[in-house]
Chains A and B, each alone.
Chain A
Amino acid sequence: MKSKISISHLDFYYGKNQALYDVSLEIPEREVMAFIGPSGCGKSTFLRTLNRMNDTIPIARVEGEILIDGKDIYAPKTDVVALRRKVGMVFQKSNPFPKSIFENIAYGIRINRMHSSKTDLEARVEKALKDSALWEEVKDRLSTSAFGLSGGQQQRLCIARALAVEPEVVLMDEPASALDPLATQKIEELVVELKKKYTIAIVTHNMQQAARVSDKTAFFMLGKLIEVNPTQIMFTSPEDKLTEDYITGRFG
């Protein structure tokens, strides 16, 4: 499997506090990699280094190297806006814009000037909504407010919004933690579907979710990457005692 993201010797600091220690990891293209670990273990911080979301924190500092398609994303000449277009993100709490369903999706397409005409814009919105499995539920109410959607629909709208700008990688930080089981199942099915086109990195506290949707699982503790292995190995015969203790609920 070809590597999409290549992380080597990554250290991360919030001021004087080190949050990640010497993390090296390969994220394969068009696979789902799940990141698990106790609260505060650095898994979300790690996820946010992959599209430089931590740049917004003034005291944050990164050492080491992250290559996406072989290019160093922390190189001085990196276009961070282009990077975040290529590496989209979906958060724990759905955060639609206070606009219509259509405009939520069209926004990114417009500011990136990706469409050639009004018809093209509409086609792109429809495609994004179809890719996020939301189209059938909203096609007759595109001009109504996004806030009228259910929690699960809002989260899929946020995924559609991320997909609309044609990313190659989608980062998901606890995308289903605030959703009921049915909505969660839809998101999980969507994740599995999306890996046909995208590379996906997902942070989750729900161990069974990691087991269900991911190809590989990485376990973090106290800022260190303890183990990364194919998911079926992680959940049946993990190599590290710490992984075993965490996934069997002995701590965390």
Chain B
Amino acid sequence: MENRIIDQQLDVLRDKLLLLGGTTEIAVHQAMQSLTERDSKLAKEVIKGDKIINKMELEIDRLSIEILALQQPAAHDLRFVISVAKITPMLERIADHAANIAEAALILNDEPQITEYVEFPLMAQVAGEMLQSALDAFTSEDANASRKVIKRDKEIDKSYERVFGKLMEIMIESPETTTSAAHLLFVAKHLERIGDYVKDICELNVYLTEAAFIKHSRKKKK
């Protein structure tokens, strides 16, 4: 059968997920922009936009449940619906992190800038690229592309360590910067968490494509 009823619904589900993904990507990008360019108006827009993302999440949840209940998908169809249902809250959480970064920006933009934000745009750029590549890999069901994205998470983790060390030094040298530095630490942590969620999304794409669970399966380094 060429035109299965479920195909239309799966297409709608895919479109809605990609729309959520795209909106989340923009939120992360704008949140960082609001910080590095000290643009509080933009920060407020990001915070406001989070409500739309929450609505999108609920809509995808509703549709996923409806497909499971009414179409009783199996095999690849089942893995697709399950993957979408699991990726959706990850995207929503990434958007939450973006909103949190924007909230930090609102506070930081009213204070003197304590450090160059060099490492932050870099982290945000890597996180943004990873998210975009992860969504592309999901659309094309390219498990190898997902595996490549997973490897990039280490770049963010290393950046986070560098930022953490540098902010510590600043706080020790000039204790009056502590409040701002603490907010920046959270920003770095938000970016690091975004990298982790993107990694999880990629793992789900490998599950979708190859029916293989790779989460928690990597060998521990000595």
Chain A contacts to B: CB under 8 angstroms: 207-208, 211, 235-238, 243-244, 247-251
> Could you mark each residue 66-91 of chain B with 1 if its beta carbon is under 8 Å from any beta carbon of chain A, else 0?
00000011111111000000000000
Q: Within 8 Å of chain A (Cβ to Cβ): is B41? A: no
**A235 with B6: in contact, given A249-B1, A251-B1 (CB under 8 Å)?**
no
Q: Which residues of B lie under 8 Å from residue A236 when comparing CB positions?
A: 74-75, 78-79, 211
B217 to chain A, nearest CB (A): 16
Q: Is the interface of A mostly helix, strand, loop or mixed?
A: helix
Q: Could you tell me the distance between the alpha carbons of A96 and B128 in the complex, rounded to whole angstroms?
A: 69
Q: Could you tell me the distance between the alpha carbons of A248 and B77 in the complex, rounded to whole angstroms?
A: 7
Closest to B82 in A: A236
Across the interface, A249 reaches (CB within 8 A) one of B4, B78, B79, B211, namely: B4
Q: How many A-B residue pairs have CB under 8 A?
A: 33
Q: Which residues of A lie under 8 Å from residue B1 when comparing CB positions?
A: 249-251
Give 14 A-B pairs besides A235-B74, A244-B76 with Cβ atoms closer than 8 angstroms: A235-B75, A235-B78, A236-B74, A236-B211, A237-B211, A238-B75, A244-B75, A247-B74, A248-B4, A248-B74, A248-B75, A248-B76, A248-B77, A251-B1
Q: Which residues of B lie under 8 Å from residue A238 when comparing CB positions?
A: 75
Q: Which residues of A lie under 8 Å from residue B73 when comparing CB positions?
A: 248
Q: Which residues of B lie under 8 Å from residue A251 when comparing CB positions?
A: 1
B57 to chain A, nearest CB (A): 25
A122 to chain B, nearest CB (A): 44
- Total residues of chain B contacting the partner, CB 8 A: 12
Across the interface, A250 reaches (CB within 8 A) one of B4, B72, B78, B211, namely: B4
Q: Which residues of A lie under 8 Å from residue B4 when comparing CB positions?
A: 248-250
**A237 with B72: in contact, given A249-B6, A250-B1, A251-B1 (CB under 8 Å)?**
no
Q: Which residues of A lie under 8 Å from residue B211 when comparing CB positions?
A: 236-237
B2 to chain A, nearest CB (A): 8
> Could you mark each residue 1-14 of chain B with 1 if its beta carbon is under 8 Å from any beta carbon of chain A, else 0?
10010100000000
**A237 with B6: in contact, given A207-B74, A247-B74, A248-B73 (CB under 8 Å)?**
no
Closest to B75 in A: A244
Closest to B71 in A: A249
Closest to B212 in A: A237
Q: Could you tell me the distance between the alpha carbons of A250 and B79 in the complex, rounded to whole angstroms?
A: 16
Q: Which residues of A lie under 8 Å from residue B74 when comparing CB positions?
A: 207, 211, 235-236, 247-248
B4 to chain A, nearest CB (A): 6
Q: List residues 164-222 of chain B with CB under 8 A from any CB of chain A.
A: 211
> Could you mark each residue 49-77 of chain B with 1 if its beta carbon is under 8 Å from any beta carbon of chain A, else 0?
00000000000000000000000111111
Q: Which residues of B lie under 8 Å from residue A211 when comparing CB positions?
A: 74
Closest to A207 in B: B74
Q: List residues 81-138 of chain B with CB under 8 A from any CB of chain A.
A: none
B136 to chain A, nearest CB (A): 23
A149 to chain B, nearest CB (A): 31
Q: Which residues of B lie under 8 Å from residue A247 when comparing CB positions?
A: 74-75
Q: Which residues of B lie under 8 Å from residue A235 when comparing CB positions?
A: 74-75, 78
Q: Could you tell me the distance between the alpha carbons of A199 and B1 in the complex, rounded to whole angstroms?
A: 35
Q: Which residues of B lie under 8 Å from residue A243 when comparing CB positions?
A: 75
Closest to B4 in A: A249
